Structure 1
Amino acid sequence: MIRIAICDDIPGDLQGLVSLTNQYLSTNGLDAEVTGFSHPDALLTAIEAESFHLYILDIVMPMVSGLELGKEIRRFDREAQIIYATTEPQFALQAYAASPINYLIKPIDKQQLFDTLPLALSKADLADEQPFTVKTADGLRVIKLSNISCCEYHRHAVIFSIMSGEEVYSRSFRENFSEYCAPLLQNRHFLQCHTSFVINMRRVERFAKDSFTLYGGKLVPIAAKRYPAVRDAYMDYLTAKGGNR
């Protein structure tokens, strides 16, 4: 399912954007969920626990402008698509720091929005919406790949760090860690950087020679012997992301 976030502090404009977007989705038979946010702080809180494929943002908003909001979204997710919708054309050049797919001037022209949405949605990466089933002490737990920040092998089990801050503990298993994580490692976002760690590269904030720092501050080590391969894989990933926008 495609997830779309729309943020605008003017109730009428927010309602109009949500309505037009839902109209486009319904007309084209697309499986998507649209969530409206009337304040940028509410959206910033939401993206700490979940990600969206597309953001439609006003620019002139209280406390946090759409420009700052777009930059913050890019800290968490370099692959999501961003559309700016605003009354202020003079911010267009500054807006491109967040690599938006388009910059629409209010009042929003329906056809202009409808011409922009197909391109934005075509770039939505749904591969990490696949579920990963974890056997826990309490039963089966299904986790979307997009919600996994990293996995740590510990005493014949795996600790899954989730975007919300939760940790999910698997039951013990007999296969080796790489075999257990094979479904994750088939997804281009995931990388094994250590014998005992697999990371979601979408959640990386900083990269150093001996570690990755994930959003939220978690430090994940890089095995010295793996560093050249890990570095190359991560650089290739960043290059591919840039080409997808």
Structure 2
Amino acid sequence: MLRIAICDDDRSDRERICGFVSEYLKGKEIRAEVKVFDHPDKLIQDCETFRPQIYLLDIVMPMVTGIQAARELRWNQPDAQIIFATSESSYALESFDVNPINYILKPVAKDKLFSTLDLALTRIETDDGKSVTVKIKGGMCSLRLDDIMYIDYRNHVVSYHMADGEVVSTPTLRIGFMEYMDENHSGQDFIRCHESISVNLTAIDKLTKTDITLRSKEVVPVSKSRYAEVADRYMDYRLE
């Protein structure tokens, strides 16, 4: 499902943008979860787990500007689509260091916002389609890759731990964890941090020599023998 975050400290502007977004989604028949914020601190905190694909941000806000918030959000979500809406045209040049897809002056015009949302959707279509199909008891289950925090292996069962706390498990397997990962996740999305645990690189919030804190706030161990490889892969991901 599409996820959108709107942040503006001005109530009337916030309601105007939110109304336009609702109209756009209804007209396009798009199912989406939209969260509205009146302060950037709350936005940054909640979006560590909410992880919107589209952000609509005011620039001039108390304490933290929209550009500063966008820099913080970019660290965890390099592929997010950022749209700035502001009454101050002087920020246009500064805003482009966080690679927004548009900079809209207030009062936001509906047609301008709609065309920008069209562009945002074309850019996230491929990313939103990244999913894996997992064999479970009684059938198959499709999991969105970005929602998988980590995968572990216990008693010949592989379990997918999701951002919302759900755990999706396979039937009992006849193969080991390494073979399962090679057959089902041969790409660069996951890295083994322990003999029986692989983490999603996009889910890592903090890495130390002994453990990993995920954006779901769960903590998983890092074995001494695997730390160097995990650190290298994580830095490569961050610098891409």
TM-score (norm 1): 0.73
Kindly provide the amino acid, as one letter, of the partner of residue 67 in structure 2. Answer: L
CA distance in 2, matches of 1:57, 1:73: 11
Task: Please show how residues 208-227 of structure 1 align to structure 2 within 5 Å.
Answer: 214-215=214-215, 216=217, 220-221=222-223, 227=229
Q: C-alpha offsets along residues 41-77 of structure 1, whole Å, 9 cap, x if unaligned?
A: 3322321322111010111222332122111211221
Judge which range, 80-89 or 109-118, deviates more: 109-118
Unaligned runs of 5+ residues in structure 2 are: none
Pair 1:133–1:19, CA change in 2 (3 A): farther
Whether 1:101 aligns to 2:81 is no
Give 1:81 deviation, angstroms: 0.7
The offset of 1:235, in angstroms, is 3.9
1:163-214, Cα deviation, whole Å (9 max, x unpaired): 46x584858644321454578626x672233553322122235779999775
Q: Identity of aligned pairs, percent? A: 33
For residues 161-180 of structure 1, the aligned pairs below 5 Å read 161-163=161-163, 166=165, 168=167, 170=169, 173-180=173-180
Taking the TM superposition and a 5 Å limit, the aligned residue runs for 1:181-192 are 181=181, 185=185, 190-192=189-191
Per-residue Cα deviation, 1:86-107 (whole angstroms, up to 9, x for no partner)? 1122222222232211111111
| Residues 116-127 of structure 1 aligned to structure 2 (within 5 Å) | 116-124=116-124, 125-127=127-129
Cα distance change, pair 37–152 in 1 and its aligned pair in 2 (3 A)? same
TM-score for both structures, normalised by structure 2 = 0.74
Counterpart position of 1:42: 42
Counterpart in 2 of 1:3? 3
Q: What is the letter of the counterpart of residue 74 of structure 1? A: R
Preserved CA contact (<8 Å) 2:210 2:221? no
3-state SS, counterpart of residue 103 of structure 1: strand
Question: CA separation of 1:153/1:83 partners in 2, compared to 1, >3 Å: closer, same or farther?
Answer: same
* Partner AA of 1:95 in structure 2: S
Contact preservation (8 Å) 1:145, 1:184? no
Deviates more, 1:149-158 or 1:117-126: 149-158
Q: Secondary structure at the match of 1:48?
A: helix
1:97 counterpart letter in structure 2: D
| SS, match of residue 112 in structure 1 | helix
Question: Can you give the 5+ residue segments of structure 1 that lack an aligned partner in the other structure?
Answer: 136-140, 240-245
Letter of the 1:10 partner, please give it. Answer: D
Which residue of structure 2 aligns with residue 138 of structure 1? none
| Number of matched pairs | 232
Q: Which has the higher contact order (CA 8 A, sep 6+)?
A: 1
